Amino acid sequence: MDLQSLNVAIVGCGNIAGAYAKTLKPYSHIKLLGATDIDLARAEAYVAANGGKVYPSLEAILEDDTVDLVINLTIHHAHAEVITKCLNAGKDVYTEKPLALTSEDAHRLVQLAQEKGRRLSSAPITILGEAQQTAWKAIRDGLPGTVRLAYAEVNWGRIESWHPAPGPFYEVGPLFDVGVYPLTILTSIFGPARHITAFGKVLYPDRVTKEGVEFHISTPDFAVAAIEFENGAVARLTTNFYVGNHGKQKGIEFHGDKGSVYLSDWQDFHAKVEFAEFAGTYEPIPYVREPYKGTEWSRGVVDLADAIQNDRPQRITGAQAAHVVDILCGIQDSFRTGKPVTLTSNFTQPEPMDWAR
């Protein structure tokens, strides 16, 4: 079958944009037309390295009738505004995570996409990775029995130790920046969350950038939540910007009646996947196929392109991303008020990858 071409443009040429361009290159049917950024010098450097043209503004992208899909890689706080403009202009949208910073904005975007008849998909898409699909298949096949408990660990280190602009990350906190990764995996496997109890705290308030500039944070850099899902499973999620990801507590453990499945990393597609019978020793589970080394950041865009061509739902939908935002906001509300939170939103769980059935 000949693949129909999909023309894409990128808004936001920051740290992650290069990884998207690199991982899109093998897919000749997805053509990068160009990019824009509020700092046009960054856009110029980006297209010089990756091809396409510099668009002087987001509006210029939206006025280009040849652009089918906008890939939104702007900072967290800009997501809702940029997505709104793109949908109103009749463009399909793939956005970096999170979909929005409030439940109201997230569900408004989903509704707008429906009204406009446009596709809306959101990172993170790491459930589409080989390791993650392998763990999910083991659970679907009943290897650990009924899974009743999961431990998800997000020790994401100190952003200022590696990122040139740590400020936006600390404004949203680890929950919204990286808690979305295991939550998207957990909701893909378990379905909607229903009840949340959480605690959050600023552990390390005074920090220093790589350039030696001191800064103070007020958004909790640590949060832990107990989440009960509609199917009865319970997960403990821990997120922080304090402990390095070299820590021994990492990845996701799925504990069932017969045993446990361990996914060593919720991001890398070649993460270790292991199984242990109850009270037994962990042994590797063979991958469903040879894994991509690292993270193929564009895999969600590729899945979206295939979904458009074959007139099927994309695997990671705006509705699921909005439900994950509900969980994030619920955790935040719970640790701010000291009270449990109940969720009611729903979404359709994604289908496994065809090669992982």
Find, among 333, 339, 337, 336, the residue nearest to 104 by Cα.
333
Distance CA 139, CA 221 (A): 32
Span 122-136, pLDDT tens digits: 999 999 999 999 999
What residues are paired with 207 via a beta bridge?
215
- How does DSSP assign 59-109, residue by residue? HHHHT-TT--EEEE---GGGHHHHHHHHHHTT-EEEEPSPS-SSHHHHHHH
Span 31-46, pLDDT tens digits: 999 999 999 999 999 9
pLDDT at 2: 57
Distance CA 39, CA 113 (A): 28
Query: Does the pLDDT of residue 174 top 90, yes or no?
Result: yes
Q: What percent of the chain has pLDDT over 90?
A: 96
pLDDT at 222: 98
pLDDT at 248: 79
Residue that the structure tokens 């993170």 belong to: 124
> Sorting pLDDT into bands at 50, 70 and 90, what band is 233?
very high
CATH 3.40.50.720 location in the chain: 6-124+298-314
What residues are paired with 237 via a beta bridge?
152, 225
Cβ partners under 8 Å of residue 154, min gap 6? 174, 178, 179, 181, 182, 237, 238, 239, 240, 266
pLDDT at 59: 98
Chain-wide mean pLDDT for the chain?
96
Span 234-267, pLDDT tens digits: 999 999 999 998 877 889 999 999 999 999 999 9
CATH code of the domain occupying 126-295+321-356? 3.30.360.10
Span 284-322, pLDDT tens digits: 999 999 999 999 999 999 999 999 999 999 999 999 999
Q: CATH homologous superfamily for 6-124+298-314?
A: NAD(P)-binding Rossmann-like Domain (3.40.50.720)
* pLDDT (average), residues 17-23: 97
pLDDT at 43: 98
CATH 3.30.360.10 location in the chain: 126-295+321-356
Span 177-216, pLDDT tens digits: 999 999 999 999 999 999 999 999 999 999 999 999 999 9
